Amino acid sequence: MESESMRLCDPHFHLWNIHQRPNPNLGTAVEQHQPVYLADDYLADMSQLPGGLELTSSVHVETVVGQAEGGAVIDSVAETEFVCQQMVPTGRRFGIVAYVHLAKDVEHTRQLLDRHAEAADDWLRGVRMILNHHPSNPDLTWPQVERGDFVCDPVFAESIALMGERGLSFDLQCNP
């Protein structure tokens, strides 16, 4: 009797092309060894899953990370557009967790959420803003996370509420 495959949702994958969309947050290993990783590459990798596993859906999680004063400026909406351009033609089920700086101001957040929703059509599922920060150990601070008190910020709380109104999730990543 042949066993059924186990359906799998990959909850966190990335696509990039640093030749067309430079992103220093991806690090030097990506620049040196794999500067381009597109939907076809991802799906080829996923076709190598062990027997019994079948990829049925996936979630692209942003690679923007942060936008600190004087840091690298990366257009997070352009990343959402890029992912859709890559994934929609594959016909695969996917979602997008985009980057929005949730502590700038509420109107800024509202506008960016609107732009992401428009760019992603029905694929937008949530927002991630990495909060890893340590006041004295830079090894524990994520690139471009300029402070450690975002969760106490009332603007941040209002922005989280905006996401809830839209049925979006917040993907929290922070130091313990």
Q: Is residue 30 in some structural domain?
A: yes
Residue 36 maps to a domain: yes
State the residue range of the domain holding 28: 6-173
Q: Is residue 163 part of a domain?
A: yes
With 0.85 as the threshold, say if the pTM is over it.
yes
Mark 140-168 as b/e (b = at least 16 C-beta within 10 Å): ebbbbbeebebeeeeebeebbebbeeeeb
The pLDDT value given to residue 142 = 82
* pLDDT bracket for residue 1 (50, 70, 90): very low
The structure tokens 């990343």 sit at 79
Order of all β-strands in the sheet with 124-130:
6-13, 53-61, 93-99, 124-130, 169-173
Write out pLDDT tens, residues 69-125.
Answer: 777 778 999 999 999 999 999 999 999 999 999 998 999 999 999 999 999 999 999
Tokens of 175: 């130091």
What is the per-residue pLDDT for 54?
95
Whether residue 1 is contained in a domain is answered as no
| pLDDT tens track for 49-79 | 998 999 999 999 998 876 667 777 789 999 9
Residue 156: inside a domain, yes or no? Answer: yes
Going from the C-alpha of 14 to that of each of 2, 83, 87, 165, the distances in angstroms are 33, 9, 11, 27
Has residue 11 been placed in a domain? yes
Q: Number of structural domains, the chain? A: 1
